[in-house]
Amino acid sequence: MSFPITFVPAGGLANRMRAVASALTMARDAGRGLRVIWFKDWALHAPFHDIFRAVEAEGLHLREARLTDLLTDDRPRRRNFGVPRLWQRQRYAACIYEAEVTPLVWRGFDFKGWASRPGRRFMASYSDFYPYPDALLRTLFRPVAEVEDEVARRAATFADVPTVGVHIRRTDHAEAISQSPMECFFARLDADLTAGRYRQIYLATDDEGVKRQMHQRYGGCLLTPPSEADRSSTEGIRGGLADMYTLARTGKIYGSSGSTFSEMAGRLGGIPLEVLKV
């Protein structure tokens, strides 16, 4: 019996979701099981089971990281002095780390072939390195009841009022700030409202200044969570997850350049995504 592939998803919420879906599809195609270890860290301050329901998927075992995993199966990096790499060299026949994934994709690397070879395998990634069906996302990632209830409250009027979703990423995202300025969103939304294509806007953003600008311009047409965006706590991550799944219920999404959050919302809802760029 072959050992399952050990996989560590990295990055923020949307990055981890697409990485897990990629890894599971790869493992299934290779005839291997997948063991996912979910680390709570600076990029995502929430355990898996505090934001998603338990996963029931063939060939997948997902668990929270244990204290010992910090020394054995965490991603080797400066903060842990690369110690896990020493263990991984002894335990695994081959390893692929997150910094190596994108260059391998560019070169057309055979991930299925790599996963099919004998011996234990370790991989970490924040990207969708292997194609997967969008339906798999909806199977794997089901928000906890509290988040689902919040999404239902936010989207209560969507069935009666045509609503467009808008995700404006700011804070530390240089590409979104430079390539997707507010003027891009204003121009498209003004045209949509004037033409009557949509009568309501749902805004998801990590910037309170953006909220103020949008409220000043669109007033009662705008829906957005009253609480400030906070990604440094489990409650904050739940709020972000509610944003993502609410966007997925709109008729169309206008997203920010380089944002995996916008892309994930579109894939979850099976709705069009248009990235607005200069």
Query: pLDDT tens for residues 200-240?
Result: 999 999 889 999 999 999 999 999 987 777 777 889 899 99
In this structure, the answer to whether residues 130 and 150 fall within a common structural domain is no
Percent helix / strand / coil, the chain, rounded to 5: 45, 20, 35
Q: Which of 92, 109, 137 is the last residue of a domain?
A: 137
For residue 35, CA distances in Å to 6, 20, 38, 93, 109 come to 5, 10, 10, 16, 22
In the structure encoding, which two tokens stand for residue 161, read together? 């009022």
Structural domain boundaries, residue 16: 5-137
Place of tokens 């988040």: 147
In the structure encoding, which two tokens stand for residue 181, read together? 């300025």
In this structure, the answer to whether residues 149 and 84 fall within a common structural domain is no
Q: Name 140's Cβ contacts closer than 8 Å, sequence gap at least 6.
A: 17, 20, 21, 24, 55, 57, 60
In this structure, the answer to whether residues 122 and 178 fall within a common structural domain is no
Q: What is the reported pLDDT for 2?
A: 66
Task: Answer whether residue 1 shows pLDDT above 50.
Answer: no
In this structure, the answer to whether residues 130 and 12 fall within a common structural domain is yes
In this structure, the answer to whether residues 131 and 150 fall within a common structural domain is no
In this structure, the answer to whether residues 164 and 59 fall within a common structural domain is no
In this structure, the answer to whether residues 37 and 112 fall within a common structural domain is yes
158: burial class by Cβ within 10 Å (0-12, 13-18, 19+)? middle
Residue-wise pLDDT for 43-75, tens only, equals: 899 999 999 999 989 999 999 999 999 999 999
Q: What is the mean pLDDT of residues 148-156?
A: 97
Q: Burial code of 118-154, b = ≥16 C-beta within 10 A, e = fewer? A: eebbbbbbbbbbbebeeebbeebbebeeebeebbeeb
In this structure, the answer to whether residues 161 and 230 fall within a common structural domain is yes
In the structure encoding, which two tokens stand for residue 186, read together? 């204003």
Q: Which of 106, 137, 168 is the last residue of a domain?
A: 137
In this structure, the answer to whether residues 155 and 75 fall within a common structural domain is no
Q: Which of 77, 107, 137 is the last residue of a domain?
A: 137
Task: Answer whether residue 172 shows pLDDT above 90.
Answer: no
In this structure, the answer to whether residues 163 and 131 fall within a common structural domain is no
| CA–CA dist 278, 275 (Å, integer) | 10
Number of independent structural domains in the chain: 2
CATH number for the domain harbouring residue 171: 3.40.50.11350
